[in-house]
Structure 1
Amino acid sequence: MVAQEDSLSVSVAEKIIVEEESRDYKPYDPLAPARAAFFSAVLPGLGQAYNGKYWKIPIAYGGLGVGVYFYLKNDEQYDRYRSIYKRRLAGFTDDEFITPTGTQRVTNDGLIRAQRFYQRNKEISILVIVGVYALNIIDANVDAHLQQFNVSEDLSLRPSMNFNEFTGKTGYGLSLNYNF
């Protein structure tokens, strides 16, 4: 006897395709923020280059350059008023603030006030330089931390139906899915 073949047999020939998520972020490196901060401390802007944020380098050097420029200008004016004041104390009457008739356009007290003004501005310029340098280091460190923060673009809002097995009713709603 010949056995009958089952005409209703189902063959499973489907292949399950697993989609792998493409990751556009770097693997976690716990020393990257410290390395970026160290690079910026050694040479301002090097930490930003390490992080790939090249557009921040001119900003760092611009801030440092402005501080150095104002320091040098204030130092030049401070030296100018200081040397004139010293010459007046030595008895000379031929400085730029004395007219040919012998009258003083700027008094000795005015020279002292000008020295204090430019000295204070020099100190403020030093604080600006140190502040920009510190911000350069902090920016490189924070940026390296934030580069390792995985922000997934997979935000989805879709309707969902939940079947309650105990009551036999269906619950309708919306679900917001956020993948970390």
Structure 2
Amino acid sequence: MPNKPLITGIFFLLCCFNIIAQDNENTVKKESTTEVPNVIAVDSIVEIRDPINPLSPAKAAFYSAILPGLGQAYNKKYWKIPLVWGAIGTGIYFYSTNNKEYNRYRDAYKSRLAGFTNDEFYLDSDGNQLDTPRVTTDGLERGQKFYRRNKEISLLVTLGLYALNIIDANVDAHLMQYNIDENLTLAPHYKINEFDASSNLGLTLNFNF
């Protein structure tokens, strides 16, 4: 047949085109099925922390015991120093005032019991002797009890403020070294389930190296 070479050539070309098309289709499928990596590596930055000093709380407490406010200065909480001095100074002021009044009434009471009538409550504002005292003997006894009780309360309050100053310095030194790193956290977890509208409550612990 005279057209046999022509038909053979056309058939050969069709086979070549078919092979090329299949090869291109396979290439497209491979590219489309290639998975994109879900994890992206990021360079991590290592943070160098100051070493923990286990003796720091003890030092702060010791300094505050020696001089109130000194432990707060050691912790660099300078704004607390006026508060410490003001609180303890107020307690000392009230103790001193009540102690002074107690001694006045006690001395006058002892003088009355000894038979004298020349104590300060027998004198007017100009220093003149009065026939009857401004404060009776029973009043002097009641005054002693009143100011002695106030003196004791003032002393207890002052000692409590002094102890609170030591505790505050110690706790502050502890908290300054407390680990609040996000790599080690414990936090509550609350989430609403989108399928049945129920709520889930739990606790999440993160510990990253």
TM-score (norm 1): 0.69
1:30 aligns with 2:54: yes
Counterpart AA for 2:131: G
1:20 aligns with 2:39: no
Counterpart AA for 2:105: Y
Alignment size in residue pairs: 149
How do 1:11-160 and structure 2 match up within 5 A? 18-22=43-47, 26-98=50-122, 102-152=131-181
1:92: how far off?
2.5
1:96: how far off?
4.5
Counterpart AA for 1:124: I
Counterpart AA for 2:54: P
User: Do the aligned residues in 2 keep the contact of 1:26 with 1:148 (CA within 8 Å)?
Assistant: no
Q: Deviation digits for residues 42-94 of structure 1, max 9, x if unmatched?
A: 11111111111011111111111011101111111111111211222222234
Counterpart AA for 2:64: S
1:179–1:46 CA distance, 2 compared to 1 (3 A): farther
Q: How far apart, CA to CA, are the structure 2 residues paired with 1:76 and 1:37?
A: 32
Counterpart AA for 1:40: S
1:153: how far off?
6.3
Q: How far apart, CA to CA, are the structure 2 residues paired with 1:179 and 1:51?
A: 30
Deviating 4+ runs (over 3 angstroms)? 94-101, 152-155, 176-180
TM-score (norm 2): 0.60
1:132: how far off?
0.8
Structure 1: gaps spanning 5 or more residues: 1-15, 156-175
1:34–1:123 CA distance, 2 compared to 1 (3 A): same
Larger radius of gyration: 2
Counterpart AA for 2:69: G
Q: How far apart, CA to CA, are the structure 2 residues paired with 1:101 and 1:31?
A: 66
1:81–1:48 CA distance, 2 compared to 1 (3 A): same
Q: RCO (CA 8 Å, sep 6+): is it higher in 1 or 2?
A: 1
User: Do the aligned residues in 2 keep the contact of 1:36 with 1:48 (CA within 8 Å)?
Assistant: yes
Q: How far apart, CA to CA, are the structure 1 residues paired with 2:153 and 2:146?
A: 11
Q: How far apart, CA to CA, are the structure 2 residues paired with 1:141 and 1:134?
A: 11
Q: How far apart, CA to CA, are the structure 1 residues paired with 2:47 and 2:80?
A: 29
Structure 2: gaps spanning 5 or more residues: 1-40, 186-202
Indicate the structure with greater helix content: 2
